[in-house]
Amino acid sequence: MVATAVADKLAESDDLDWKQALPNFARTPGVWNEFAKDVAAMANTRGGLLIYGVSDRIELVGIDLSTVDKKQLLSTMRNVIQPYISEVDFLELTAPGGNGPDILVVDIPPSEMAPHFQYGWESRDKDRATFNAPYRIRDDTYYMTEHQVARAYQDRFARQAATHALLKEHLADATDVVLSESDHAHAWLVIATQLTRPVPHLVPATTQEEAESALRLTHETAVRISGNPDRSAPVATRLTQVRVGLRRWIASNLLTPNRRTPTRGILVELHHDGTVIVCADLSANLAAGDHTAVDTRVLRIVALEAVVLADIHRLHRAPDTAVEITATIATAATDRRLTPFELDFGSMELVDGARHPKRLLPSSTELAPNADDDTLRECAHELASGPGGGLGCGRDAPVGTVDGRWPRRPVLPRPGAGCPILAHRRHMAGSRGGLRVMMATRGACRNSAHNQ
């Protein structure tokens, strides 16, 4: 395709830029980093291609691919462009037959996070650092004026508002579906996740095999994270097959009559746009008289599985994107109070001292890209602690599970009187190994590594 374009003398445009030599990263005062400027300009416009190895006269001169430093290219994008532009692809293309000339193609998608600013230097006024937002008009690059920057921010915020509205719509739709298919006295945990950035247009739709593989991997990962080998986990172990839906895959044991089971109702949806829906009946096999039973153990397990599934599905759709997650407990019997049950010595018992509200507010959290096991566990706890706290049976941040429960963190003794923080520091400073303790307000830092 590149050779054909060169032969046809295809002129540069707002989405095509011919480059004869690889970028130079030596800092020169008063000169903008050309690579960062070109990447930001195309992302701020409508995306495009930077093709290295073609001269200004549109002749295929080639480059030495062995000198391409992708690490340097990515580092420049991260350090010089704000906010970071994800999904940029680097394609090293060798000539047919391997005799050259070779080329490098940088594929830049249109960004939903525009405007992107390039950090640069001006030789005027004592070599000051500046920010500019470049964009392209035909084959030229310009810098946004104030009103253009304001308009770009308005467009970004409008897209983000649309994302939040879509998440609420998914949550409401899923709630309507499960309540219409269940006993009116049952409570349902409904979880909806949404990518903070849209899936790139060229990413193919999720296949059935990928959807079924995601369900299997979800259970394996949840078991590893929680340390709980219980095979009665509500979601992944009961749903092994998916069926096609409208721009999504659906797995359920309650929507199709010939697949309906008398066990706990489950609904899972994996949307092609990265959305994940997980719904679970929290009242199955429990009786609470004129109240609505809530199985808090199932709530925690499903919250963990939903977070893991959202992370797995995100990796297939848009790996560099954060995930917004919202959970709510819904019931059609709004006149009944919610009564929490907990597993106690092998049997389900009422939670002593718990509250019995008629409704609970939704809880939300955000899962960052590149989440490790600790981050997934902490995110699941934060998601489940909203409804759990509303019922008066929330727990401290988990470090694992014991018999399906989230154990409490150990509490340090309070030695002496006076300031508790100084007392703890004096106490720990004199212990073996000279341990240092940093006291932090619970929940002030969402990074589990920092908490630990």
pLDDT digits (tens, 9 = 90+) for 26-36: 766 555 688 99
User: If you average pLDDT over every residue of the chain, what do you get?
Assistant: 79
Q: What's the pLDDT band for 128 if we cut at 50, 70, 90?
A: low
| 425-452 average pLDDT score | 34
Nearest Cα neighbor of 294 from 239, 231, 357, 219 is 357
| 352-365 average pLDDT score | 85
Task: Please tell me the distance from the alpha carbon of residue 140 to that of residue 16, in angstroms, as a whole number.
Answer: 11
DSSP H helical segments within 349-408, as ranges?
A: 373-390
What is the DSSP pairing of strand 48-52 with strand 16-19?
parallel
Q: Establish how many alpha carbons lie within 13 A of residue 75's alpha carbon, considering only the half-sphere containing its beta carbon.
A: 5
pLDDT of residue 444: 34
Task: Please tell me the distance from the alpha carbon of residue 233 to that of residue 104, in angstroms, as a whole number.
Answer: 48
| 404-417 average pLDDT score | 37
Whether 106 has a pLDDT exceeding 60, the answer reads yes
Share of the chain above pLDDT 70, in %: 79
> Residues with Cβ < 8 Å from 19, sequence gap 6 or more?
50, 51, 52, 53, 54
> Residues with Cβ < 8 Å from 445, sequence gap 6 or more?
451
pLDDT of residue 78: 87
Whether the model pTM is above 0.75: no
pLDDT of residue 326: 92
Task: Please tell me the distance from the alpha carbon of residue 122 to that of residue 4, in angstroms, as a whole number.
Answer: 40
pLDDT of residue 29: 57
pLDDT of residue 415: 37
Omega within 30 of 0 (cis) for the link into 83: yes
DSSP code at position 204: P
Residue 240 CB-density burial (10 A; 0-12 exposed, 13-18 middle, 19+ buried) = exposed
Q: What is the DSSP string of 143-171?
A: E--HHHHHHHHHHHHHHHHHHHHHHHHHH
Q: What's the pLDDT band for 189 if we cut at 50, 70, 90?
A: very high
Residue pair 330/317 in contact by the 8 Å Cβ criterion: no
Q: What's the pLDDT band for 346 if we cut at 50, 70, 90?
A: low
Q: What's the pLDDT band for 229 if we cut at 50, 70, 90?
A: low
Task: Please tell me the distance from the alpha carbon of residue 307 to that of residue 313, in angstroms, as a whole number.
Answer: 10
pLDDT of residue 6: 93
Higher-confidence residue of 282 and 392: namely 282
Task: Please tell me the distance from the alpha carbon of residue 179 to that of residue 176, in angstroms, as a whole number.
Answer: 5
Q: What's the pLDDT band for 439 if we cut at 50, 70, 90?
A: very low
Task: Please tell me the distance from the alpha carbon of residue 17 to that of residue 56, in angstroms, as a whole number.
Answer: 9
Higher-confidence residue of 447 and 82: namely 82
> Residues with Cβ < 8 Å from 7, sequence gap 6 or more?
none
pLDDT of residue 255: 80
pLDDT of residue 424: 35
Task: Please tell me the distance from the alpha carbon of residue 239 to that of residue 234, in angstroms, as a whole number.
Answer: 9
State the first-to-last Cα distance of the chain, in angstroms, to the nearest integer.
Answer: 53
pLDDT in tens, 148-173: 999 999 998 998 888 888 888 999 99
